[in-house]
Amino acid sequence: MKVRVVCRKLYDYVRYDLKEIAFPSSLPDPPHIKKRRKLTWAERFLVLKEASRLYAASWMRDIGPDLRPNDYKKTEEDEDNPNKVKSRKKEKEPSTLEDLAVAARGGMETLRPALQRVYMTRASAYRDALKSFIEGYQEGIQQIMDRKESQSQKESDKTNNST
């Protein structure tokens, strides 16, 4: 009898608990998330083909209109319709991350100045924030000191008037 119970518990552990420990199930999606349909094998192949083409092209410095024709078609349509409100800037500055990625591909010689620019901008932002905090703190202290002076003057006026 005991052997049967032990075997059943061991079987249940392997069947349910061990599987959950080895391959944990994820939490269910929130209710507002819409499920996407599964891709067919042909669509998966097209996605893989496009991703590998863009990955191979990303090793070059400039990804131009020949590599991403769909993106450049959108900008041409925007130029054709000047009445539409443009949500993007025409010439967009590269982000810090993009700048560092390009610099990292160039080697240590190009990476060092890019990192120095990042550190200097962070240092200047930190310095400006600290300076504004100190100014605000000093203004707050000055206001408190003015209040105390006005209160002490009122008290001294009351004592002088009463005598």
The alpha carbon of residue 44 and the mean position of all alpha carbons in its chain are separated, in whole angstroms, by 28
- CA 116 to CA 134: how far, in whole Å? 26
Query: How many Cα neighbours within 13 Å face the side chain of 106?
Result: 15
CB burial string 40-79: b at 16+ within 10 A, e below: eeeeeeeeeeeeeeeeeeeeeeeeeeeeeeeeeeeeeeee
- For the chain, which residues make up each domain, given as ranges? 94-156
pTM comes to 0.35
Q: For every one of its 163 residues, what pLDDT tens digit does the chain have, with 9 covering 90 and above? A: 789 999 999 898 888 888 788 777 777 778 888 888 898 999 999 999 998 888 877 776 555 555 565 665 665 666 666 555 555 545 677 777 777 787 788 777 878 888 888 888 889 999 999 999 999 999 999 999 999 998 888 888 877 776 5
